[in-house]
């Protein structure tokens, strides 16, 4: 094609040229970071060491033709712009639909990984990174250096760098899954980096940061952390496989998030079969404003999945599992929403009967299509119900880090100090929500470990994290009763502040509305530093250090079973007289009980509410 201005193609209108370029876009392709085919097993061979790079594989769902890119600058720019057009449909890879590159150059030792990666692909370019993953060399296994991007990556970068969506697929080794920097568990059950310990940067964070330097326009980032199930079973990891990498999940995906990034999704996924991913932890981070991010998490590794009870080698078992994957909602009739589990023919039908007035589901009818119903169940709190401002009682939960979200409230069981007890247990439950008024309870028995807090069952309210100088009020109502034998515990609000929205707590303000059995606050001297009258009650103020945190504790002289006041009056007492900077950001407000010891104890909260203005 001529590059002169007399080229007939360049003389066409831009819209027509774009249409033609759309037909020239080539299908998906997977590139490796090596220039030659891998004819040896990458992970088990004792042959000579190979070059290793930050990127292992690069998947492009579509690619512009090289001859067009080489024609002239104008066509190259137009072709690259056209390739980013979201209206262009491309054939996506699937575990069974292998790109031509995989057929032409099968890579020994990577077959499972490549098929697993295809099972997670969408319409975004994907770059595979290996994090602290071992190779086998002439003298045994070693972790190679993967600091620089490959020449192949640099050659493809002009095609990829304008993308607004990107998928990074990580294959970490045991050292990464087993944990990063030393951590400690704070009183609210959060796992945090110990500031007194020097630690290396997380290898995944370093690799992701280096990779994203080449993609300044990315707005939506997906990070898939993959694990072969056989590795997970062989490695000595906690039941909650993310427990040792919690510090990485808590930290920003890269140090500087004040760029174009708007959404980050992190998934931890295991594979029994390469074509069937099972995500056991999902975390979505959405930018709200400035450097403020909303983080939603869901982890369920402790719950056995249905596939755990089936033999994946038996075709009949797998066929049954596939028939249960999707639910199809196919219309409504006379107030019923009908659904059927996809199979051929459908296994059964579900009819949801809405209540009149409150938009909850009152009945669930199940039966074979065309036959009479065989099961009717009352489902006033069915999970499929439309959310309302009224929530009924839920079953108690007893796991160490179990929690439930109810409106703007999250109620935690939080057995953060149970290791200090010789025996004991605790269960927590939500009794209902009406408007902003929450009812909940916790029951526990703890023995041993005198002087040590065993848990902190508490409710945390969703707030806007901002400087305390910008908060006008935090009105709260808290009505509670406590019963049990030989109780040593407190009932308290717990406020945390930091100089950064995502930083570690620097100040803690506790408001003890109850001190049972001689429980006492953190104090440097054991004596109060002041006595104040706030929210209609008299309080003794104590001060002391807990690790890096400066802790202020207001302890009521008399038990306050019916608290009604503004928590900001307590915060202002500290900012005006005791050195808390007003620039500190309020990051969390909780309210609950810290048990030291006792038997058959039960805290019952008949009314709790908190709001922010």
Asked if 368 and 422 sit in the same domain, the reply is no
CA distance linking residue 545 with residue 547, whole number of Å: 6
Residue ranges making up the domain that contains 502: 390-610
Question: Which of the two residues, 319 and 391, has the higher pLDDT score?
Answer: 319
> pLDDT per residue over 78-110, tens digit each?
666 666 665 555 555 555 566 666 554 455 567
Asked if 224 and 118 sit in the same domain, the reply is yes
Boundary of a domain, candidates 309, 339, 367? 309
Question: Is a pLDDT exceeding 90 seen at residue 335?
Answer: no
Please report, for the domain that includes residue 574, its CATH number. Answer: 2.60.120.180
- 74: its two tokens: 């104008």
Asked if 102 and 238 sit in the same domain, the reply is yes
CA distance linking residue 460 with residue 493, whole number of Å: 10
Determine the pLDDT at residue 367. 45
CA distance linking residue 18 with residue 77, whole number of Å: 11
Output the CA torsion sign for 217, 221, 225, 226.
negative
Q: Determine the 3-state secondary structure of 218 from DSSP.
A: coil
> pLDDT per residue over 206-258, tens digit each?
999 999 999 888 889 999 999 988 888 778 788 778 888 888 888 888 776 65
Name the band, by pLDDT with cuts 50, 70 and 90, for residue 363: very low
DSSP string, 388-451: -SEE-----B-STT-EEEETTEEEE---TTGGG-SEEEEEEEEEEEETTEEEEEEEEEEES-TT
Determine the pLDDT at residue 400. 86
Within a domain: 429: yes
> pLDDT per residue over 129-156, tens digit each?
999 888 766 666 778 888 888 888 888 8
Determine the pLDDT at residue 479. 96
Determine the pLDDT at residue 594. 93
What would the mean pLDDT of 278-303 be, rounded to a whole number? 75
Question: Is a pLDDT exceeding 50 seen at residue 565?
Answer: yes
Question: Which of the two residues, 508 and 326, has the higher pLDDT score?
Answer: 508
Asked if 514 and 424 sit in the same domain, the reply is yes
- Quote the mean pLDDT of the chain: 76
- 21: its two tokens: 């370029």
Within a domain: 318: no
Residue appearing with tokens 């190679």? 144
Give Cα 10 to chain centroid, integer Å: 49
Asked if 430 and 361 sit in the same domain, the reply is no
Determine the pLDDT at residue 515. 92
Asked if 374 and 394 sit in the same domain, the reply is no
| Beta strand segments in 229-321, E | 263-273, 276-289, 292-299
Determine the pLDDT at residue 65. 72
Within a domain: 6: no
- How many separate domains does the chain show? 3
Strands 549-556 and 409-412 turn out to be unpaired
Question: Which of the two residues, 183 and 562, has the higher pLDDT score?
Answer: 562
Question: Which of the two residues, 184 and 2, has the higher pLDDT score?
Answer: 184
Boundary of a domain, candidates 282, 309, 336? 309
Within a domain: 14: no
Determine the pLDDT at residue 1. 44
Measured CA distances, 547 to 187, 196, 483, 522 (Å):
11, 9, 32, 11
Beta bridge partners of 554: 511, 541
Q: Taking a C-beta distance cutoff of 8 angstroms, is the pair 281, 298 a contact?
A: yes
Determine the pLDDT at residue 588. 92
Determine the pLDDT at residue 180. 56
Determine the pLDDT at residue 345. 43
- State the maximum Cα–Cα separation within the chain, in Å, rounded to a whole number: 95
CA angle 470, 475, 479 (to 5 degrees): 150
- Crossing angle between the packed helical segments 73-83 and 151-160, to the nearest 10 degrees: 80
Backbone angles phi, psi at 404, to 5 degrees: -140, 145
Name the band, by pLDDT with cuts 50, 70 and 90, for residue 294: confident
What would the mean pLDDT of 314-334 be, rounded to a whole number? 50
Is 594 designated active site? yes
Asked if 486 and 519 sit in the same domain, the reply is yes
The single-letter DSSP state of residue 26 is: B
Within a domain: 321: no
Asked if 420 and 526 sit in the same domain, the reply is yes
Is 508 designated active site? yes
Based on its alpha-carbon atoms, the radius of gyration of the chain, rounded to whole angstroms, reads 29
CA angle 224, 225, 227 (to 5 degrees): 130
Question: Is a pLDDT exceeding 90 seen at residue 277?
Answer: no
Q: Taking a C-beta distance cutoff of 8 angstroms, is the pair 59, 33 a contact?
A: no
Determine the pLDDT at residue 134. 80
Q: What percent of the chain has pLDDT over 70?
A: 66
Backbone angles phi, psi at 436, to 5 degrees: -105, 5
What would the mean pLDDT of 459-481 be, rounded to a whole number? 94
Within a domain: 494: yes
Residue appearing with tokens 């034998």? 485
Asked if 575 and 479 sit in the same domain, the reply is yes
CA distance linking residue 444 with residue 427, whole number of Å: 7
Residue appearing with tokens 């694990």? 227
DSSP string, 451-485: T-----EEEEE----EEGGG----EEEEEEEEEEE
Residue appearing with tokens 């056991």? 280
What would the mean pLDDT of 431-448 be, rounded to a whole number? 93
Asked if 88 and 194 sit in the same domain, the reply is yes
Neighbours of 435 (CB within 10 A): 9
Question: Is a pLDDT exceeding 90 seen at residue 190?
Answer: no
Question: Which of the two residues, 42 and 525, has the higher pLDDT score?
Answer: 525
Determine the pLDDT at residue 546. 85
Determine the pLDDT at residue 98. 61
From the list 78, 506, 508, 573, the catalytic residue is 508
Within a domain: 4: no
Peptide bond into 186 cis (omega under 30): no
Q: Taking a C-beta distance cutoff of 8 angstroms, is the pair 480, 593 a contact?
A: no
10 Å CB burial of residue 433 (0-12, 13-18, 19+) is buried
Asked if 303 and 338 sit in the same domain, the reply is no
Determine the pLDDT at residue 343. 41
Asked if 499 and 587 sit in the same domain, the reply is yes
What would the mean pLDDT of 320-345 be, rounded to a whole number? 43
Within a domain: 525: yes
Determine the pLDDT at residue 186. 61
- Crossing angle between the packed helical segments 73-83 and 14-24, to the nearest 10 degrees: 70
Least confident of 17-21, 257-261, 288-292, 307-311: 307-311
């Amino acid at each position: 094609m001529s590059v002169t201005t007399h080229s007939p193609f360049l003389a066409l209108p831009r819209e027509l040229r774009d249409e033609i370029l759309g037909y020239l876009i080539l299908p998906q392709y997977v590139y490796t970071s090596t220039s030659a085919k891998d004819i040896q097993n990458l992970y088990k061979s004792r042959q000579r060491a190979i070059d290793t790079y930050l990127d292992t594989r690069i998947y492009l769902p579509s690619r512009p033709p090289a001859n067009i890119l080489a024609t002239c600058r104008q066509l190259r720019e137009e072709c690259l712009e056209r390739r980013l057009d979201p209206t262009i449909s491309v054939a996506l890879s699937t575990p069974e639909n292998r790109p031509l590159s995989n057929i032409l150059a099968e890579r020994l030792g990577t077959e499972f990984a490549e098929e697993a990666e295809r099972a997670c692909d969408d319409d975004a370019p994907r770059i595979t990174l290996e994090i602290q993953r071992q190779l086998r060399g002439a003298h045994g296994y070693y972790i190679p250096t993967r600091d620089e991007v490959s020449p192949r990556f640099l050659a493809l970068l002009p095609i990829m760098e304008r993308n607004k969506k990107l998928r990074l697929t990580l294959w970490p080794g045991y050292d990464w899954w087993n944990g990063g920097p030393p951590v400690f568990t704070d009183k609210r059950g959060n796992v945090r980096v110990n500031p007194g310990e020097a630690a290396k940067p997380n290898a995944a964070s370093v690799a992701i940061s280096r990779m994203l330097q080449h993609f300044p326009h990315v707005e939506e980032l997906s990070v898939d952390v993959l694990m072969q199930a056989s590795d997970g079973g062989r490695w000595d990891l906690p039941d909650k496989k993310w427990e040792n990498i919690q510090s990485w999940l808590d930290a920003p995906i890269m140090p500087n998030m004040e760029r174009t990034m708007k959404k980050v999704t992190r998934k931890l996924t295991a594979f029994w079969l390469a074509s069937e991913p099972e995500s056991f932890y999902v975390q979505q981070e959405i930018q709200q404003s400035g450097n403020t991010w909303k983080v939603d998490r869901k982890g369920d590794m402790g719950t056995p999945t249905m596939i755990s009870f089936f033999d994946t080698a038996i075709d009949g078992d797998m066929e049954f599992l596939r028939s249960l994957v999707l639910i199809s909602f196919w219309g409504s009739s006379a107030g019923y929403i009908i659904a059927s589990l996809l199979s051929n023919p459908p296994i059964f039908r579900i009819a949801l009967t809405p209540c009149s007035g409150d938009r909850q589901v009152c009945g669930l009818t199940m039966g074979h299509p065309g036959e009479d119903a065989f099961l009717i169940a009352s489902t006033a709190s069915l999970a499929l119900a439309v959310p309302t401002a009224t929530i009924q009682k839920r079953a108690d939960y007893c796991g160490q880090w179990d929690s439930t979200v109810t409106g703007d409230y999250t109620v935690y069981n939080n057995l953060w100090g149970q290791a200090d007890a010789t025996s004991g247990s605790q269960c927590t439950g939500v009794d209902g929500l009406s408007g902003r008024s929450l009812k909940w309870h916790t029951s526990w028995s703890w023995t041993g470990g005198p002087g040590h807090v065993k848990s902190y069952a508490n409710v945390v309210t969703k707030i806007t994290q901002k400087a305390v100088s910008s908060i006008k009020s935090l009105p709260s109502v808290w009505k509670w009763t406590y019963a049990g034998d030989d109780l040593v515990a407190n009932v308290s609000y717990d406020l945390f502040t930091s100089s950064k929205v995502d930083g570690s707590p620097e100040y803690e303000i506790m408001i003890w509305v109850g001190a049972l059995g001689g429980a006492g606050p953190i104090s440097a001297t054991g004596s109060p530093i002041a006595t104040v009258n706030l929210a209609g009650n008299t309080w003794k103020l104590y001060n002391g250090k807990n690790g890096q945190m400066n802790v202020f504790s207001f302890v009521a002289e008399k038990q306050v079973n019916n608290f009604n006041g503004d928590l900001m009056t307590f915060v202002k007492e500290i900012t005006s007289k005791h050195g808390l900077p007003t620039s500190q950001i309020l990051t969390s407000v909780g309210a609950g009980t810290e048990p030291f010891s006792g038997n058959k104890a039960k805290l019952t909260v008949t009314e709790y509410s908190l709001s922010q203005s």
